[in-house]
Amino acid sequence: MIRDDVRVSVATKDSSANDQATYQFDRIFTQDATQEEVFHVVMKDSVDSVLNGFNATVLAYGQSGAGKTHTMFGTEKSDQGIIPRSVKEIFRRISCHDSGSMFVVKVGRRSVLSTEEGEVS
């Protein structure tokens, strides 16, 4: 399930002050969202842009255990994440292209891990 235009309020560290920080999100995916739904919402426009000659970047950010790796890569062929789905879609569309154009596809992956507060490796 996908919820659009969501506002979330979070209590600050100093709970005695009754302060809250409010964040506005364009979209939130619930735990029931499928990999296919996430791909179509998050990556469809990026795949279109890549095939028109532009670079695209996707970033998964969150705490350990939040599902970043699962969202990016998935688990099995039937539950592929957004990276394998994007690559599959790019090559599917290239193979259907009959203009005689040449395509060069380059993919990079970076993983940044925070091991302690304030320390990034």
Ligand-binding site membership of 35 (annotated) = no
Residue 49 makes CB contacts below 8 A (sequence gap 6+) with: 56
Is 67 marked as binding a ligand? Answer: yes
66 is in an annotated binding site: yes
- 77 labeled binding residue: no
Q: Is 118 labelled as part of a ligand binding site?
A: no
**Distant-in-sequence, close-in-space partners of 74: CB < 8 Å, separation ≥ 6:** 35, 80, 81, 84, 85
100 is in an annotated binding site: no
Is 62 flagged in the annotation as binding? yes
DSSP state at residue 119 = E
Residue 64 among known ligand-binding residues: yes
What tokens appear for 74 in the block? 């998935």
Residue list, annotated binding site: 62-69
Residue list, annotated binding site for ATP: 62-69
